Amino acid sequence: METKEKEERQVKNEILKKAESFVEDLFRNDLPEKLLYHNMAHTEEVAAVSEELGIESGLNNDDLEVLILSGWFHDTGYIRKYNGHEAESVKYAKEFFAKNNYPEEKVSQVTKLIMSTVAGHEPDGLLEELLHDADIAHLGRKRFFRKGELLRVELENFNSKSYTELEWEKKQYNFLVSNYFITEAAKERFAKRRVKNIKKQRQNILKARKVTVRTNTGKDFGRGIDTLYRANYRNHINLSAIADGKANMMISINTILISVIVTLSGASLSVSKGFAVENLRFTIPIMTLLVGALLSVIFAVLSARPKVTSKEVDMNDVKENKISLLYFGNFLGIPKEEFVNYLSNLKKDQKKLYDSMSLDLYNLGIVLKEKYRLLTISYNVFMLGLVVTVLAFIFIFFVTNAN
């Protein structure tokens, strides 16, 4: 009786050795270089942990053998296909079993176990639970973070997607929290370390958030970003002051011109009818200068005139950072409480703060553009009025002398 059990154990050990050799050759010859996580090292770990958990759970020899074989073959399909690899893993397993005349009943068990590793599948029965726990055993080990970096590179290679530090740390945290050990044997071995890894991962998220904020706001380059915004705000204020100064100058000059022209014209017309008719030839240049000065002063006043706008603001646009409430023309259209809450949220999110400041600078630039546009028209009208007036006087002078 003992001799028969030894022979059965030797046969079983032999099939496991052949499976290990088959998988090793498979990974050695066909493994894509991009597979940095789902490789031979991970497969060996799953097979070894499956055996340990199976023994601790009191599995009989047949069930233990099926479990270990499933551990060896469960990820071989990654060689052919990254998404939906489980079906390919089953093909490799069946190919191996056909060569070794493995019992069909056990082939079916292994196939079912491999397919139970599909994402989202709820383990049904002890064997599936044990394979599930063996497959995520790294969650309860110190190597979780090192393995995670390999998985990150692998995912970026196959999915053509890059993760920021914060995105990846959150993804790892969600994976740790949403996956847990089912069997008592796995809980005994890995649960405590998983809890520690969760705590450490929370710290990693905080660190990654700081790094992300520093990167997005330019803090890694020193105080340069603060100097940039400070200098831009100062330049906008200075340019606005210059525009107002130029507008005031045009207003002063043109109002003096208008006053002098109106006064002199009124005095000339009041002397005598004959005198007024005699000087009627100067009416065109005088009126040209008067109209030019009037138009010029109008545009100068429009440029310097304070303008307070109050429009309705869509808070969804504010949340999506399409509108900045730092600009006074926007926050006048919302209640005081919402504005205070907006500023409070900016304190917590530096990226949003700098984005809001950028939008505010843009809005100030639009105001400056309008100021200088009106001021340019004012100067052009003033210049054109002077030129036309002088040319008119010269023309009248020569015509008069010729007659």
pLDDT at position 111 is: 93
pLDDT number for residue 190: 93
Low-confidence ranges of the chain (pLDDT < 70): 1-12, 213-224, 265-281, 307-315, 317-322, 327-333, 402-403
At 186 the pLDDT is 92
In SS3 terms, the chain reads as CHHHHHHHHHHHHHHHHHHHHHHHHHHHHHCCCCCCCCCHHHHHHHHHHHHHHHHHCCCCHHHHHHHHHHHHHCCHHHHCCCCCHHHHHHHHHHHHHHHCCCCHHHHHHHHHHHHCCCCCCCCCCHHHHHHHHHHCHHHHCCCHHHHHHHHHHHHHHHHCCCCCHHHHHHHHHHHHHHCCCCCHHHHHHHHHHHHHHHHHHHHHHHHHHHHHHHHHHCHHHCCHHHHHHHHHHHHHHHHHHHHHHHHHHHHHHHHHHHHHHHHHHHHHHCCCHHHHHHCHHHHHHHHHHHHHHHHHHHHHHHHHCCCCCCCCCCHHHHHCCCCCCCCHHHHCCCCHHHHHHHHHHHHHCHHHHHHHHHHHHHHHHHHHHHHHHHHHHHHHHHHHHHHHHHHHHHHHHHHHHHC
* Model pLDDT for residues 210-228, shown as the tens digit of each residue: 777 666 666 655 566 778 8
Rounded to two decimals, what is the model's pTM?
0.59
Q: What is the pLDDT of residues 128-181, one digit of tens each?
A: 999 999 999 999 998 899 999 999 999 988 887 888 888 899 999 999 999 989
